[in-house]
Amino acid sequence: MADMENLNSEANERSIVKAWRAWRTAHEMVQDRGYELAEEEVKISLDAFRTQYTSIDGTVSRERMKFSARPSAEMQKKYTPAATANNPEPQPDVGTIWIEFNDDPSVGAEAMRKFAKFCSHEHYRTGMMILSGNVSSAAKKEIPKFAQWTTIEWFLEEDLLINITHHELVPRHVILSREEKIALLKRYRLKETQLPRILQRDPVAKYFGMRRGQIVKIIRSSETAGRYASYRLCV
């Protein structure tokens, strides 16, 4: 009996550490996109996480891990279209993001549809579901149905155990604003289709929530030039 209790305790501890690491990366990702989060929310310790997000039986309560964040003023400015005669006061095309952690072994169409409906009804411009299990192909097909009202994203918890942007081999990525994109193309007399491409499903593009048509500036270190930048178009 004691051995079984020890095994359960060790399994719970592994689950807690895994959930904490994914929770921390999710907060870093949201903050890196430009949403407002306090540093104490992002840098929570394992002990603090264990106190706040585990149940009496020692298991992780993913239901309590959900959170939301509002876009910063800088982010709103970056995502505000240029004024036109027909739209002299354009509104930002970003809004509050909602993040949930799901511990179902598999997320099907009904669960994804329920999540998307909730985000749409509550006027969240982006909904992010972080899964400890798998997502079905039928669930993925539900996502485009709600694109008019809310952008739905999903990540596997396993993929968030390490923040890929912190890896020494991943250079710094900076998403250009519309004005910066126009200035870049004008400076080099380029059409955007002439730029190298980055796929929207690329792990770093997914991390930053890149949209098709956006340009990312990639800053690398160089022994001769110090630093140099390249640009890629998201497709």
> How sure is the predictor about 6, in pLDDT bands with cuts at 50, 70 and 90?
low
pLDDT for the residue 141: 97
Q: What is the mean pLDDT of residues 139-158?
A: 96
User: Phi-psi region for residue 205, left (φ > 0), alpha (ψ -120 to 50) or beta?
Assistant: alpha
**8, pLDDT greater than 90:** no
d(CA 114, CA 125): 16
Please state, rounded to an integer, the average pLDDT across all residues of the chain: 93
**53, pLDDT greater than 80:** yes
- Say which residue the tokens 């030039």 belong to: 225
> Of 20-29, 73-82, 99-108, which range is least confident?
73-82
d(CA 190, CA 80): 23
Q: What is the mean pLDDT of residues 182-204?
A: 95
Structural domains of the chain, with CATH: 2-162 (3.40.1340.10), 166-234 (3.90.940.20)
Give me 90's structure tokens: 């354009």
Sequence-ordered list of residues with C-beta below 8 angstroms from that of 77, at least 6 positions apart, any chain: 92, 177
pLDDT for the residue 223: 73
Q: What is the mean pLDDT of residues 12-35?
A: 96
Residue by residue, DSSP assigns the chain as: -HHHHHHHHHHHHHHHHHHHHHHHHHHHHHHHHTB---HHHHT--HHHHHHHHB-TTS-B-GGGG-EEEPBPHHHHHHTPPPP-SS-SSPPPS---EEEEEE--SEE-HHHHHHHHHHHHHTT-SEEEEEESSEE-HHHHHHGGGGTTT-EEEEEEGGGGSS-GGGSTTS-EEEEPPHHHHHHHHHHTT--GGGS-EE-TTSHHHHHTT--TT-EEEEEEEETTTEEEEEEEEE-
> How sure is the predictor about 213, in pLDDT bands with cuts at 50, 70 and 90?
very high
Cα angle for residues 202, 145, 111 (degrees, 5° grid): 85
Q: pLDDT, tens digit, for every residue of 60-98? A: 999 999 999 999 999 999 898 888 889 898 889 999 999
pLDDT for the residue 10: 87
pLDDT for the residue 83: 84
pTM over 0.75: yes
Give me 184's structure tokens: 């870049």
Give me 192's structure tokens: 């955007």
